[in-house]
Structure 1
Amino acid sequence: NFTLSDYMLIICSSCVTMAGFTLRHTVLFFVVFCSHFVCGQISYSIPEEMAKGSIIGNIAQDLGLDLKRLKLGKARAFSGDVKEYIELNRENGLLLIKENIDRESLCGKITPCAQHLQMILENPMELYSITVEITDVNDNAPTFQKNEIRFEISESAAPGARFVLGRAVDPDVGINGLRSYLLNPTDNFVLNYEAGGDRNVEIVLQKTLDREKQARINLLLTASDGGEPPLSGTMQIYITVLDVNDNAPIFTHGVYKATVTENAPKGSKLTTVSAFDADEGSNSYVTYFISDAVGSSVANKFTVHEESGEVTLNGQLDYEKSNQYELDIQAKDQGGLSDTCKVIINVLDINDNKPTINILSMSSSISEESKPSAVIAMIKVIDPDSGANGHVHCTINDNIPFVIASPSNNFFSVRTKYELDRERNSEYNITVTCSDEGVPSLSSSASLRLQISDVNDNAPVFERNNYEAYVVENNTPGLSIFTVKASDVDSNQNARVSYILEDSTVNGVPVSSYVTVIADSGVINAVRSFDYEQLKDFHVHVKAQDGGSPPLSSNVTVKITIQDQNDNAPQVLYPVQTGGSLMAEIVPRSADVGYLVTKVVAVDVDSGQNAWLSYKLQKATDRALFEVGPQNGEIRTVRQVTDKDVTDKDAVKQKLTVVVEDNGQPSRSAVVNINVAVADSFPEVLSEFIDFTHEKQYNDNLTFYLVLALAAVSFLFITCLVVIISVKIYRWRQSRIFYQSNLPVIPYYPPGYTDTGVTGTLPHMYHYDVCMTTDSRTSDCKYSTLGGQKVLAMDQSFSETMHHALKEKNLLEDQSSAEMVRTCYSFFVIGPSIAGCTRVLFWCVCVCATDRVRDV
């Protein structure tokens, strides 16, 4: 509620030289505080004809606005005219010339001439009024309607007679407008004109004309303006001297007035002018015409009857363009004498214009969290009609959460009525209807389309509360296992869901080393190849997070189950397959049908049917002698071992090949080779299997270790030899008789064989405790450990053979020899971890000690 006296007026002037003239800026500041937004007013003064791009003023500086405010507020200035002459550069805050401004075309004679602009800022909305006054420059010379004019003047014309010449027209105003006239020569006539006035220029006869002396007179009329430098225009005056018409016509009224509506049809009568001439005859005949001093644009709209003086409408009038016209009507008699009157025509307004709706600023979208009364559009409504015809009120369509208000004259704002919800309605079409108060009322409408922008107020939601996925083991790394899906009812970035693998561990290892989640699609990919035998299942936690700020999220648990694949072949636990020696099972020839030779024990680390094992005999020296249990792997005899005579006797050396298969698809298998000795005596076994124990393997990489072992063995051999010889000498003194023997006597330890009847893939426990030797210099004595029990074996079948051999050779003729054998045996037993060559040396020492050097 400020008054004009409260405004602060600041006048800043700066001089800028442009195109040879001085540009003077005058800036006026008016600040008005309105009820809903800030209104400001600023004025500039510029000359016309400034070049395009010329600077009018710095809006940002003059209004105290930040350049950033101009950019973010999308500042723009406009006048609402068809052609925009001035533009605002929001980058630097300068008000610039957009189009060349011709003050005369824009305003004519109206002063002051100004362009009225409005500048709108958004967020928050602000309205500023800008007035740019266009000052005149002397760019137009005075011009006459005609280049020449002719008069016929009677010689009887008395001094003081006046002859109307019309007047020059200079579109410029002020000091640049028409200022003076100059007549040359001035022998007979002088000028009569009103300085700065609008009346016609007259020449006044100052002395009587003499046709006999000068029948024709040529004058030059020059019109000059007040510019710097001054400009001028000329008109030739040709005077023909006549006789005898000494009275000029005189109008009954100096000024005539008429009223007409703007929609009046062509030919409508406006008024009638009348002039009286005191002369008689032809000299009193008066004709009427519109003076040449009236512009052609105005003269074309009206006509005057040459004889009657009736003024009629000759064109269409528009109150909004001009509400008043002035005509100069001239009356002339036959002698060339004339008089002039003025006709003023007032145009009455009718309601012929609909309100024009100009959307000054509009938000194409608004956040759903906007508060009530938030401005979404600023509208200026213009109705060029006058009075009630130009009074406008606006409404909007019903059932929408918006209202329209008028913060100031001709300005309307569309505001929110209450809170919005994009999920309920994401778009509104607002129709603004503006009507004037004319009779009949005219109206116009404009549509506003408003998008409700989303706010991140909804978290993503998974399709299920939990998921379960399955993957077959031995998968390829990078394999897609499963896809989780979450949706968000928000829009755009707020609805863009990203999937994140939550940190957790599986068996102490980060879950990210097992699987990964593609952020955009939610596809869970395997990072590694899974092994069912090591990992059966695990859980991962996936978080769905939207792209809002701040983001919202939800979690879901995915159980990933590893499915078994037949990727492991059966493993044979017994009999143990070794490369250094061959084990042999002993079957006595007296064995009955169904005799349990041995049992193949195997396991499969797979699960389900992939771990179901079956056994079958693939190859055998005599397939009719043995069979394998398909479920338990037991090898039994299927008939009595033949021992009738030499020809029908079963071979001592039997080799069996057993295949162990699982039930997978495709199935996997393992092969085990089993040596079986069919014999009742050790020599028979020894003769058949001697080659098995005589296998030597050479490895060039062990050369160093063999040399080192040889040195150690040599030292031990010499030491033992000295000890044994000393013992032998001592014993020899005690007893001189020693019995001869091919083999030393060694205690026999029978094998412990146990079959607990365990089935499936669990191993049976077999215990072999055997210590054997031969009298062959190629033999080798070995220790073997099986199933966690110590087993001393030449071969696994060698113990039985040696047992029979010792029973046949159980001769101890001397107590001292028996003691020596026990000593040798103790040397043999205490070194189970010594290499085979060392044990051979021990045995040689024992043989030497028993006087069997020749056999060695």
Structure 2
Amino acid sequence: MVQWGHRSWRWKIMWLLSMFFSFYIYTARGQIRYSILEEMKKGSLIGNVAQDLGLDLKRLRTGRARIVTGESTQYAEFKTDKGILVVSERIDREQLCGDVTPCSFSFEIILENPMELHPVTVEILDENDHAPSFQNKELKFEISESATLGSRFLLESADDHDVGVNSLQNYIFSTNNHFVLKQHSNPDGSKYAEMVLQKALDREEHPHLSLKLIAVDGGNPQRSGSVNIEVTVLDANDNAPVFNQTVYRASVMENAPKGTYVTTVNATDADASSYGRITYNFYKQKGTAAQLFNIDSDTGIVSVIGEIDHEKDIKFELTVEARDQGGLTDSSKIALEVIDVNDNAPVINTMSFSNTVSENAPPDTTIAIINVKDSDNDDNGKVNCFIEGSEDFTIKSTLRNYYSLVINAILDREKLSEYNITVIATDSGKPPLTSRKTFNLKVTDVNDNPPVFQQSIYNSYLLENNSPGVSILSIRARDPDENQNARISYILEENDFGGSPVGTYVSVNAESGVVHAVRAFDYEQIKNIKVTIIAQDGGSPPLCSNVTVNIFIQDQNDNAPQVLYPVQSGASVVAEIVPRSAAVGYLVTKVVAVDVDSGQNAWLSYKLQKATDRALFEVGLQNGEIRTVRQVTDKDAVKQRLTVVVEDNGQPSRSATVNVNVAVADSFPEVLSEVTDFSHDKDYNDNLTFYLVLALAAVSFLFITCLVVIISVKIYRWRQSRLFFKSNLPVIPYYPPRYADTVGTGTLQHAYNYEVYRTTDSRSSDCKFVRPASQNVFIVDPNSTLTVQRPPGEKNMLDELDSPVEASNGSSAYRDRRKHSVQNRPRTALRRHHAMQLQLRDYSREPNGAAPGYCRNHRC
């Protein structure tokens, strides 16, 4: 009893010491270690992390402090608002670690901005919550009465799940006269007992003995367990079995299949017959060993019957008992080492990961932090990590088993907007095992690309006289950015065009890029418009680009031809004189018209609309020249009025008409009697009295005028004949009205006047080029006298006929002309004919660089 009490005090002191160190903290290099008792209530304090690491609570909140662990069960909880660790689940040390000591679990506390890792280890201290226990409630022995003194009998060991001082400490044997208890310790520190025979047995005196074995631990309060021992005394068996080795050493591979041979034990017995027959068995093994191994009772062969895992047990110590038929036994040990096999692939755990990153993130930016563990040992547990298939990222090791996934290059979202980064972890085993984990990373956009137009220059064509607001063209720019950075607005660059802002001509839709006409355009005023349009994205700051848009105005047939010659005037009448001797094809005059449109809209054609007599004249379809189509007869009226229609080639076509008055006569009086009628073809709407008064005044005026004209003509002819040879004074020619320069868009691309022509023979259609002379027109003004101007320097046709040079030639042509002139026409009539001939002269430069006098559509 005294001894028992002494042990109780010793255990009490040990318990107090364990409680003193239950909250011992160890911090070094950012690592914290706490010790707590098992079976603490949920919410019990483990330690003050903030105080131990020297961190304030604000840093814990901003850094999003949290626990990261690869364990399936998390026993601790971190209170960031207080900076403390508390128990989150009930902790059973025996369930967590079994016989392993010391027992602990580890985790990391991670903080961000900047990133910090603080390993934490929590050691679980044992509490005496288990009493020693025996597997069997009763132990039975059969011992021969001839057993020699000192014979040993192995007793069943008690199991105590506690460790340290709380584990099994001692065995107590009940008092008897035959056996004493002898205790032993195994290499792992566990205790077992044997009962040793100290007094010979006498079956006849005591055939049966009842004993009791008590196992006690060192906890406070102390716990114990007991088992009954029943000894049956047999007849004599003089020799006990003996093993040939005290300890058998062997090894086995983990994951070895069932039935794998481990080792063979062997014992011998000197007795004969049944007392020498030995059987083998494992002596009351505890834990998982009894479920993993089997021994053949007859041969002593040990084999595998269960799944061996090196990560759970690295070695086994088995006790083997050899028993003969007489009940005598011997025991031996099997030290069994488990050889590790590379059967565990690395495990990749994500500590921190951001699934988005900006495309302008600099290299070495951390994307993720991972933890890689391998449960195997030695080379089988050495892990190497790398990235598969992407050179834009790399992996770096920061701490043991911790890796950082960082950017290795400049990212471009427009080339690749999403990455699937595969991290591969491979151990060094043979063969190596590999694990993979894929991280999906999206690259967020930065406004680093300006809009780009599909074309460098846009050309568009628009018909003139368009409706205001009509769509001209649509431009489109593309921005490879996304969202707001790719939202494009179109802006018309402000500049002047023709003295006005370009916005008064065109506009552009800011969203669609459609260019509209602000007003109607006139091709004759504006041929093309050049504008600059800016495309600007919605980024911050915005980026932009511009493009040039050329808008070409296309002509429409909106202008009718304009007749330049003959001039239509109400104040005077122009008459073209055709001699009755004119041959077929005789050039009467030429209608000149222009069209300010361009292209085919300005291609003009001429045709006669009506004539006052049967067809005597025709007009050239393209050149507007009026020529005779037959010989003039006496039946042809002196007064001829031709209506020429000038029509362009537009769709629809436009036209203009001009009246050409032609007098068919050889003498001036004949013409004079008819030509004034041209001016009387007008309709008057005045009352009758007015016409009567006007007629009386006209008759009186005409009488006086005729007298003056006759005298003037006589004087004029006399002066003309003299001036023809002596005077070289220039005569002011007739110029057509000046029209607006069409800049190459009308019919006449250059300014033209008209050249004087005359026939070399009244019966020939050929033309002869002469030197520049004034126009020869016949103008009748009702309010003035008639005058006929003869070009200076023009020779009298009779003079030509009498020319000694031509006469001397003696040519038949000369004789024919001479004969024709004398027989058919008086000399004076020929002079009048040439004096009254209407001719045109061109005083400006001729097309194609020709000299003055260039003749078109005639043989010269």
TM-score by length of 1: 0.50
Residue matched to 1:345: 336
> Aligned pair 1:434/2:428, yes or no?
no
Q: Is 1:325 matched with 2:316?
A: yes
Equivalence for 1:210: 202
Q: Is 1:287 aligned to residue 285 of structure 2?
A: no
Following superposition, the deviation at residue 406 of structure 1 comes to 2.0
C-alpha displacement at 1:497, in angstroms?
A: 11
Residue of structure 2 in register with 1:26 after alignment? 24
For 1:89 and 1:420, the matched residues in 2 are separated by: 39
Match of 1:256 in 2: 248
The alpha-carbon distance between structure 1 residues 455 and 224, as it changes in their structure 2 partners (threshold 3 A), is farther
1:122 corresponds, among 109, 112, 115, to 112
Indicate whether 1:105 and 2:105 are aligned: no
SS class of match (2:52): helix
- Spell out, residue by residue over 1:685-732, the C-alpha distance to the aligned partner (whole angstroms, 9 max, x if none): xxxxxxxxxxxxxxxxxxxxxxxxxxxxxxxxxxxxxxxxxxxxxxxx
1:371 to 1:190, Cα distance in 2 relative to 1, 3 A: same
Provide the rounded CA distance (Å) in 2 between the counterparts of 1:42 and 1:190: 50
Deviation at 1:384, TM superposition (A): 2.3
Contact 1:78 1:87 survives alignment (8 Å): no
Does the 8 Å CA contact 1:183/1:191 hold for their aligned counterparts?
Answer: yes
Q: CA 1:449/1:214 → structure 2, altered by over 3 Å: closer, same or farther?
A: same
What is the aligned partner in structure 1 of residue 127 from structure 2? 137
User: Aligned-pair distance for 1:160?
Assistant: 2.6
Mapped to 2, the partners of 1:493 and 1:113 lie a distance apart of 58
Matches within 5 A, 1:702-781: none
**Alpha-carbon contact 1:78-1:84 (below 8 Å) kept:** no
Deviation at 1:129, TM superposition (A): 1.4
Question: In structure 1, the residue corresponding to 2:288 is in which secondary structure?
Answer: helix
Task: After TM superposition, give the deviation of residue 456 of structure 1 in Å.
Answer: 6.8
Aligned position for 2:366: 375
Q: CA deviation at 1:225?
A: 0.6
Q: Deviations over 1:111-134 (max 9, x none)?
A: 111112122222322222111111
CA distance in 1, matches of 2:483, 2:412: 15
- Checking the alignment, whether the CA contact within 8 Å between 2:485 and 2:537 is kept in structure 1 is no
Cα offset for 1:343?
Answer: 0.7
User: How far is the alpha carbon of 1:261 from its aligned partner?
Assistant: 1.8
2:23 alignment partner AA: H
- Counterpart in the other structure of 2:54: 64
Q: Following the alignment from structure 1 to structure 2, what is the Cα–Cα distance between the partners of residues 352 and 115?
A: 23
Q: How do 1:413-812 residues align onto structure 2 when only pairs under 5 Å count?
A: 413-454=404-445
Query: In 1, distance between residues paired with 2:485 and 2:57?
Result: 31
Distance 2:253 2:173 in 1: 43
**How far apart are residue 211 of structure 1 and its match?**
2.6
Distance 2:83 2:484 in 1: 34
| Equivalent-residue separation in structure 1 for 2:223 and 2:136 (angstroms) | 18
Amino acid at match of 2:235: D
Name 1:267's counterpart in structure 2.
Answer: 259
How far 1:382 moved relative to its partner?
A: 1.9
Q: State yes or no: 1:183 paired with 2:181.
A: no
Matching residue's letter, 1:208: A
Distance 2:225 2:397 in 1: 53
Structure 2 runs not aligned, ≥5 long: 1-14, 455-475, 490-510, 512-535, 547-860
Does residue 222 (structure 1) correspond to residue 220 (structure 2)? The answer is: no
Contact conserved, 2:168 with 2:190, CA < 8 A, in 1?
no
Q: Could you say if the C-alpha distance between residues 230 and 411 of structure 1 is closer, same or farther in structure 2, counting changes exceeding 3 Å?
A: same
Query: What displacement does 1:161 show?
Result: 2.4
Aligned to 2:230: 238
Residue 161 to residue 397, structure 1, CA distance change in 2 (3 Å) = closer
Question: Which of 15, 22, 44 is the matching residue for 2:34?
Answer: 44
* Greater alpha carbon shift after TM alignment, 303-312 vs 328-337: 328-337
- CA distance, structure 1, for counterparts of residue 424 and residue 260 of structure 2: 36
- 2-structure distance, mates of 1:162, 1:78: 55
- Per-residue Cα deviation, 1:439-493 (whole angstroms, up to 9, x for no partner): 3332221100112345577899999xxxxxxxxxxxxxxxxxxxxx999987679
2: CA distance between counterparts of 1:67 and 1:489? 45
Per the alignment, in what secondary structure is the counterpart of residue 155 of structure 2? strand
Q: Is the 8 A contact 1:79 1:115 kept in 2?
A: no
Given residue 260 of structure 1, which amino acid in structure 2 is its aligned partner? V
Distance 2:279 2:155 in 1: 17
Counterpart residue identity of residue 24, structure 2: T
Secondary structure of the residue aligned to 1:69 is helix
What's the secondary structure of 1:166's corresponding residue? coil
Q: Give the superposition deviation at 1:68.
A: 3.1
- Could you say what secondary structure the match of 2:165 adopts? helix
In 1, Cα distance between equivalents of 2:438 and 2:265: 53
Distance 1:148 1:119 in 2: 52
2:78 pairs with 1:88? yes
What do residues 295-329 of structure 1 show as CA deviations (whole Å, max 9, x unaligned)?
25211111111011111111222222222222111
Give me the TM-score of the superposition, normalised by structure 2: 0.50
Q: Using a 3 Å threshold, how does the CA distance of structure 1 residues 50 and 159 change in structure 2: closer, same or farther?
A: same
8 Å CA contact 2:185, 2:192 repeated in 1: no
Q: Output one character per residue of 1:78-123: Cα deviation in whole Å (capped at 9) or x when no partner.
A: 4323333233333433222232221112222221111121222223
The aligned amino acid for 1:66 is: D
Give the AA of the match of 1:161.
Answer: S
Q: Unaligned 5+ residue runs, structure 1?
A: 1-16, 32-39, 464-484, 499-519, 521-543, 557-856
Q: Which amino acid aligns with 1:286?
A: I
Instruction: Give the 3 Å change call, closer, same or farther, for CA 29–392 of structure 1 in structure 2.
Output: same
Structure 2 CA distance for aligned equivalents of residues 229 and 546 of structure 1: 79
Query: Match of 1:845?
Result: none
Shift of the 321–195 alpha-carbon distance from structure 1 to 2, 3 Å rule, reads closer
Q: Name the SS for the 1:372 alignment partner.
A: coil
AA partner of residue 280 (structure 2): Y
Amino acid at match of 1:222: I
Which secondary structure does the structure 2 equivalent of 1:218 belong to? strand
Q: Is the Cα–Cα contact under 8 Å of residues 460 and 552 in structure 1 kept in the other structure?
A: no
Aligned partners of 2:45 and 2:84 also within 8 Å? yes
Q: Which residue of 2 aligns with 1:300?
A: 291
Q: What SS does the corresponding residue of 1:373 show, helix, strand or coil? A: coil
For residues 640-672 of structure 1, the C-alpha deviation after alignment (integer angstroms, 9 at most, x for no partner) is: xxxxxxxxxxxxxxxxxxxxxxxxxxxxxxxxx
Residue 282 of structure 1, CA deviation: 1.9
Residues 486 and 185 (structure 1), Cα distance of their counterparts in 2 relative to 1, 3 Å cut: farther
For residues 518-564 of structure 1, give each alpha carbon's deviation from its aligned partner in whole angstroms, at most 9, with x where no partner exists: xx9xxxxxxxxxxxxxxxxxxxxxxx99797xx8799x9xxxxxxxx
The match for 2:137 is: 147
Code of the aligned partner of 1:344:
A
RMSD: 4.2
Residue 53 (str. 1) matches residue 43 (str. 2) = yes
Match of 1:333, as an amino acid? D
- Sort the Cα spacing of 1:458 and 1:75 in 2 relative to 1 into closer, same or farther, 3 A: farther
| Distance in 2 separating the partners of 1:249 and 1:320 | 37
SS at match of 1:182: strand
Give the counterpart of 2:155 among 155, 165, 172.
Answer: 165
Distance 2:346 2:167 in 1: 38
- Report the Cα offset of residue 374 of structure 1: 1.4
* Count of aligned pairs between the two proteins: 480
Relative to structure 1, the CA distance from residue 82 to residue 191 in structure 2 (aligned partners, 3 Å threshold; closer, same or farther) is same
Q: Secondary structure at the match of 2:440?
A: strand
| Alpha-carbon distance, 1:28 to partner | 0.9
1:758-801: CA deviation from partner (whole Å, max 9, x where unpaired):
xxxxxxxxxxxxxxxxxxxxxxxxxxxxxxxxxxxxxxxxxxxx
Distance (whole Å) between structure 1 residues aligned to residue 448 and residue 48 of structure 2: 43
The CA distance in 2 between the partners of 1:233 and 1:496, in whole Å, is 84
* Residues 165, 218 of structure 2: 8 Å contact kept: yes
Contact 1:155–1:244 (8 Å) recurs in 2: yes
* Further displaced range: 359-368 or 488-497: 488-497
